[in-house]
A and B are shown apart, each in its own frame.
Chain A
């Protein structure tokens, strides 16, 4: 078990810089999820941690040791690959025993460890099968088993759930989280699925184009996103963004109407008078308020009932927006409804830099 710590980490492929000087602190025992859009460098970072890619600049520490020049084989890290990468010519048992054999462990102990891990993951019935004779979910478990038996300092997962169907994914997600709490081994988990990130992580690292945007607990990144990108990426459906400028009694939106946003946001906006601003409101942070002064009357263009709540789509100027409302409201397309942004939960961003104002 060990913490991970990078300083100014740069990774280039030829002239393409994929990681732009990352400073990242991954504490011991934590389950950290790297999340970001496709191509942002998540896998690359994971492979750098594993030692499968060389580092161009900066330092990487695992525990106390600087491991820049330590090959993958000597880093004592286990990795679960997206395609599982099981050894096709070995049985499940041999797959799991392989790394231990490489370390010269005694046969008795190997057997013991393999069986313990197999029991933990409920793959005992398949121990003598080849990977080819297993389902996707079973292979996924074997890949995890292969990592667990080693009792490594760090686990790395590269989108290990993306090949599973939705139900199995939810199940394995919970299992990995439980496992992390049982084993207390540092885990780094890569995904581009923000729901996966939110549900599993002790700590989320949001990346974009090889730059870390924000590091924080799931609550942190949801409640206080550092910038427009994080605000839009975390949460589903995404946060609504409305270009706005400051008025005395609220914020003027693109279609010329003014919406009341409460004292907190109003004060912050006033302090940035003259700058183009973005008002950010999550779908769940609209209140249906027919009587409130400064509420926004909008016409519903689409209704999506989810059962537990209902999503309504509407337009403000050219911008599409979504609000989450009580299903009992039974909204219909064409209805006009008055929506007020929650004064406590609404956010304000600088349009130019995208930085959070409040």
Chain B
């Protein structure tokens, strides 16, 4: 008895320690980034890093003046929202069917494609999109990013669909539902939490995806993340402006995560279907 209480206390302490450790590890670079974005340029690269400094908006002003920041943000939004939507439109039915039929090898294939380094696709895609005269179009980016978002959606949703008792599908069949209706009326509503989780993840991955945006966009369709690369020059990198850009780029996923936080938690605990 007392043994259990004691070991509970130990696991409790261990949990807190691990949480703090994870927090420190993941938040330190963030804090560094945000603080640096408010530093004057000479202070950004100072070593050891200064913690107390007089904050300035200089970097943000630079960003505003030198780049069409809003335009890039708009591009990022278009590409990310569309590719996330495309990922869900393609991935949700795929996950449903994979779970229903228990045939998962196509899903494994998409995951393999996702895991392969992006550079592998870069050249074939560049050539292909050039053939279709699509280099620099939104569609080129949206389609390539869907290759990232779709496997995320499939793999997040699969366990959610698997978690739906089969008898519920069968009841719907007996009630006169076609498979398409079962998907829309039964399957999708029951994986709402999973949809929230997968759209966040898809959004974040697409938003931050750098490589394809760099190669397949032009100055009109460049995304934020690709554009921020401009601040890294040969020899003279404007770290302050880069940090300001990075801070702004990190905002939308953060806001999104906070907005759908409630769904996210109920989704992550997979409790949506039981009972």
Chain A positions near chain B (C-beta within 8 angstroms)? 50-52, 71-75, 77-79, 81-83, 85-89, 98-99, 102-103, 131-132, 146, 150
B186 touches A72 (CB 8 A): no
A85 touches B177 (CB 8 A): no
B168 touches A87 (CB 8 A): yes
**B175 at the A interface (CB under 8 A):** yes
Residues of B within 8 A of A99 (CB): 175-176
| Cross-interface CB contact of B174 among A73, A86, A88, cutoff 8 Å | A73
Instruction: Give the distance in Å from the alpha carbon of A146 to the alpha carbon of B181 in the complex.
Output: 18
A102 touches B181 (CB 8 A): yes
Q: How many B residues touch A, CB cutoff 8 Å?
A: 20
B167 touches A85 (CB 8 A): yes
Within the complex, what minimum Cβ distance (angstroms) separates B6 from chain A?
37
* B141-174 with Cβ < 8 A to chain A: 165, 167-168, 170-174
Within the complex, what minimum Cβ distance (angstroms) separates B100 from chain A?
13
Query: Would A83 and B167 be within 8 Å (CB), given that A52-B174, A73-B173, A131-B275 are in contact?
Result: yes
* B99-121 with Cβ < 8 A to chain A: none
**B252 at the A interface (CB under 8 A):** no
Instruction: Give the distance in Å from the alpha carbon of A79 to the alpha carbon of B181 in the complex.
Output: 19
Interface string of B245-275 (1 = CB under 8 A from A): 0000000000000000000000000000111
Residues of A within 8 A of B181 (CB): 102
A85 touches B165 (CB 8 A): yes
Chain B positions near chain A (C-beta within 8 angstroms)? 165, 167-168, 170-178, 181, 185-186, 189-190, 273-275
- Identify the closest chain A residue to B170 (Cβ): A52
Q: List 25 A-B contacts (CB under 8 A).
A: A50-B170, A51-B174, A72-B174, A74-B176, A75-B174, A78-B175, A81-B167, A83-B167, A85-B165, A85-B167, A85-B168, A85-B171, A86-B168, A87-B168, A87-B171, A87-B172, A88-B168, A88-B190, A88-B274, A89-B190, A99-B175, A102-B175, A102-B176, A131-B275, A132-B275
| Cross-interface CB contact of A83 among B165, B174, B186, B273, cutoff 8 Å | B165
Residues of A within 8 A of B175 (CB): 73, 78, 98-99, 102, 146, 150
B173 touches A77 (CB 8 A): no
Q: Apart from A50-B170, A78-B175, A99-B175, list 4 A-B contacts with CB within 8 A.
A: A51-B173, A72-B170, A81-B171, A83-B167
Within the complex, what minimum Cβ distance (angstroms) separates B8 from chain A?
30
Instruction: Give the distance in Å from the alpha carbon of A99 to the alpha carbon of B176 in the complex.
Output: 6
**6 shortest interchain CB distances as A-B pairs:** A99-B175, A85-B167, A85-B171, A102-B176, A72-B173, A132-B275
Instruction: Give the distance in Å from the alpha carbon of A50 to the alpha carbon of B174 in the complex.
Output: 7
